[in-house]
Chain A
Amino acid sequence: SEPDEGGNSDSDGDGEGTSEEAAEGGELVIANQSDVVSMDPAGSNDTPSSNVQANIFETLVTLDENMELQPGLATEWEAVEDNVWEFKLRDDVTFHDGSEFNAEVVKANIERILDEDVASQRYFLYEMVEDIEVVDDYTVRFTTEYPFAPFPAHIAHNGGGMTSLEVIEADYEAMENGEEPGSYINENPIGTGFFKFDSWNSGSEVRLVKNEDYWGEPAHLDSVVFKVVSEANTRVAELETGDSHIIDPLGPSNMAQVENSEGIHVAPQESVSVSYIGFNVEKEPFDDPNVRQAINMAIDKSQIIDGIYEGVGIPAVGPLAPAVYGYDEDAPGLEYDLEEAKQLLADAGYEDGFSTTLWTNDTQERIDAATNVQAQLQELNIDVEVEVLEWGTYLERTAQGDHDMFVLGWSTVTGDADYGLYPLFHSENIGEPGNRSFLQDEELDEMLEAARREGDEETRLQLYSDIQTELTELAPMLYLHHQEFLLGVNDNVQGLTQSPTGILQLHDVSLNQ
């Protein structure tokens, strides 16, 4: 095939040169770091894919920029029983292929995610679902194994994007013929969203066009191009030259450059993620909570935020970012206090410090954070050796518990505290699934379980508040900071918002010329 087909030249023309007066129409060009992995909502679990899919596929419920649940394809929802959630659906929605949206479709979509043969990457979202019942054409009920309070938040996740039933059937058919699951949907992503799939040039760009027949108010833009520009500096160049309107993400070190240039600006957005340094609590000396606390108190987090992130982002007190449902701003943290830290370490019998290793993968920010922590821990006579591991290796070996300390991050994509805590700290999730500190604390386990089952909001919030206090005490991690997303945006772009999970909201975006 020809390498130079595709929309590069288009974007050259439209991206910059159009001088139409109206705020209507036009093509928006977004430069992303990575390519979409898959167009199948069930077949990917990465932000670039979600970012594109969010425009094609819609979920029953949506999260707004304040992480509040809003109606989507469902108009209302409630827990009809402890463990049964009922959703009322819109009846005026059709897919891009003209087929109808109804309860059957919802059932088929979620069941597909749960299908072992499909082995969906979104399985974790709905693993608790036991049964899906089509009550009538526009009513659907989900029965969960156990009462699961954050269920609507999970339904709001992009993984729950609705695909046309015909496409799903075609995909199953293809599977029968030996194709990989998702291979059909990948080529024919048919959703109900305000944009329709137009083309995907793998590794290079995805193009979406306006869905004129959208059930709600149609988008302003005629089309959107997501193109892959993996090098941060080049993305800035794209923005500067006007080849792209939005660059996502913008590196902190490039902020100054964007701010100093005319016609473009930086758009920050608080996130639901945390970066942390985990301890292997099964290994000496980290099996001693005093040591863990001491390290927590020995680190001046502002150094990391200033040194690496140019001051962008907020120091983390606990694992939950402020935007996450369940975050308690009053929960106690471990303040920076070197003296206290030394004391604690002495109590633990390590007044002369010790030697240990700190693992990180090859993300520059993480390496830098590790280096900084290493330097700061010199104060406690802790001799840290930083070791960089390649991603695949890193995941496997931290899952096996070969590490002492490790740098990683977590994003609470559902916006609910359950997803921000349960995978990371519950003993059931030790190792591979997410609990790489190997923390096993029965009390904590119970609290986590109780919190996810609790139907009552008040009680639930209280439970999470307790958990956060408990986590401060246990200190299985050194919480570093809550990242702030940075976008570089052309001044002509109007109405752009970004959700704390990192998804760009393009429905209301228009291009000023």
Chain B
Amino acid sequence: MSRSNEHIEKPEIAVKQPNPRLKSWKSVFNKLKKNKSAVVGGILIILLIIIALIGPYLTPYDPLYDQDVTNKLATPSSDHWFGTDNFGRDIFSRVIQGTGLTLMIGFFSILLGATAGVFLGIIAGYYGKRIDSIIMRFMDILLAFPSILLALTIVTVLGGSMVNVVIAVAVSSVPIFARIVRGSTLSVKKLEYIDAMRALGASDSRIIFKHILPNITSPIIVQATLSIATAILSAAGLSFLGLGAQPPTPEWGAMLSDGRNYLYNAPHVALFPGLAIVVAVLAFNMLGDGLRDAFDPKTRE
């Protein structure tokens, strides 16, 4: 390419630049690092992961089979930091033991659901017309469909494994992401810079994934980080169908709902797993807020 331009002299300085893509990720990362909320959230998540990985080896009691009915529903004490449940099992140990499983269910089901939902929603919103109608009506069906029936079918067809509870929760979150993404896509696709990309001959997939998607990340991040809480709760809600964590597996959501019988005389049974969920969701939300800011070019690095 030889279109040089002698008319305008080269400027004296030319800053040498590293790989641009790396650079932009680095900038996102730098912004994240400077964002208090993101840092706190990130640390919390790392902490939770550490607990999930090594916690089970350190629990003071056997979280599964160590039943002691004589010491049931004991309130928190130095022996049992979080008290005991109706079989006298140590709630602290159970919460620790349940960390990995619970986080995995929450995280992966949303990851899966969001991925599929975002994809469908963006396609529907971008192409509009018939494709939109087909996808969105299908989403309507999914939304209106009782999740219990869906879960039941999944147990029947696929069995009740851990992976399948993730699938079940994911499937019911797909239409939610699809609708949110579609709505935002509808307005972003009308912006002039999308026209500019079309004028350049950009393929649809490039426009969709490089130009529309990054501009609708914030509702996705919000919905995803929040959905982790609902995912944990609804996964627990499915365990009675034989889907997901089976007793005595200490999954937080299940522990929380087991505690409902004792809300009056032993509220701690439900309280601690509940708090654990809040902490986890809080962590993801703080990181999400940080991400949102980091992707926003207008915030200061």
Contact = CB atoms under 8 A, between A and B. Distances in A.
A257 interface: yes
B241 A371 contact: no
Interface string B65-86: 1110110100000000000001
A257 B66 CA distance: 28
A371 B264 contact: no
A376 B64 CA distance: 11
Contact of B240 (A236, A303, A307, A362): A362
The 8 closest A-B pairs by CB, nearest first: A362-B240, A253-B261, A307-B69, A375-B65, A375-B67, A390-B241, A371-B247, A257-B264
B67 to A, nearest CB: 5
23 contacts: A233-B260, A253-B86, A253-B264, A254-B261, A257-B264, A307-B67, A362-B241, A364-B258, A368-B86, A368-B247, A370-B247, A371-B248, A372-B87, A375-B66, A375-B67, A378-B65, A385-B246, A386-B246, A386-B247, A386-B248, A388-B246, A393-B156, A393-B241
B46 interface: no
Given A254-B264, A303-B69, A374-B65, A368 B87 contact: yes
Nearest to A392: B152
Interface in B62-119: 64-67, 69-70, 72, 86-88
Interface string B249-267: 0000000001011111100
A232 interface: yes
A308 interface: yes
A308 B292 CA distance: 47
A257 B265 CA distance: 7
A236 B265 CA distance: 13
A4 to B, nearest CB: 26
Given A307-B72, A370-B247, A371-B248, A256 B242 contact: no
Contact of B239 (A257, A306, A388): A388
Contacts of B65: 374-375, 378
Secondary structure dominating the interface of B: loop
Contact of A387 (B72, B246, B262): B246
B160 interface: yes
Interface of B: 64-67, 69-70, 72, 86-88, 152, 155-156, 160, 239-242, 246-248, 258, 260-265
A332 interface: no
B87 A388 contact: no
Contacts of A374: 65, 247-248
B101 to A, nearest CB: 15
Interface string A82-107: 00000000000000000000000000
A387 B240 contact: no
Contacts of A344: none
A30 B265 CA distance: 24
A266 to B, nearest CB: 14
A389 B151 CA distance: 12
Contacts of A376: 67
Contact of B247 (A233, A303, A307, A367): A367
A186 B211 CA distance: 63
Given A387-B242, A393-B152, A393-B156, A256 B86 contact: no
A383 to B, nearest CB: 10
Contact of B263 (A233, A362, A367): A233
A356 to B, nearest CB: 14
Interface string A212-238: 000000000000000000001100100
Contact of B87 (A375, A390, A393): A375
B188 to A, nearest CB: 42
A353 B248 CA distance: 20
A306 B156 contact: no
Contacts of B64: 375
B26 to A, nearest CB: 49
Contacts of A386: 246-248
A306 B69 contact: yes
Given A306-B72, A387-B242, 13 more contacts: A233-B260, A253-B264, A256-B265, A302-B69, A303-B67, A368-B87, A374-B65, A386-B247, A386-B248, A388-B240, A389-B241, A390-B242, A393-B152
A363 to B, nearest CB: 9
A251 interface: yes
Nearest to B70: A306
Contact of A307 (B87, B239, B246, B263): B87
B253 to A, nearest CB: 14
Contact of B241 (A257, A375, A388): A388
A57 B66 CA distance: 51
A375 B87 CA distance: 10
Contacts of B262: 253
A375 B241 CA distance: 22
Contacts of A236: 264
A175 to B, nearest CB: 31
A129 B248 CA distance: 48
Nearest to A306: B69
Nearest to B160: A387
Contacts of B258: 364
Interface in A249-263: 251, 253-254, 256-257
B157 to A, nearest CB: 12
A253 B241 CA distance: 24
B261 A232 contact: yes
B265 A371 contact: no
Interface in A381-426: 385-390, 393
A73 B260 CA distance: 45
B152 A371 contact: no
A385 B241 CA distance: 15
A364 B261 contact: yes
A303 B260 CA distance: 21
A390 B154 CA distance: 12
Contacts of B156: 393
A367 B86 CA distance: 13
Contacts of B264: 233, 236, 253-254, 256-257
Nearest to A307: B69
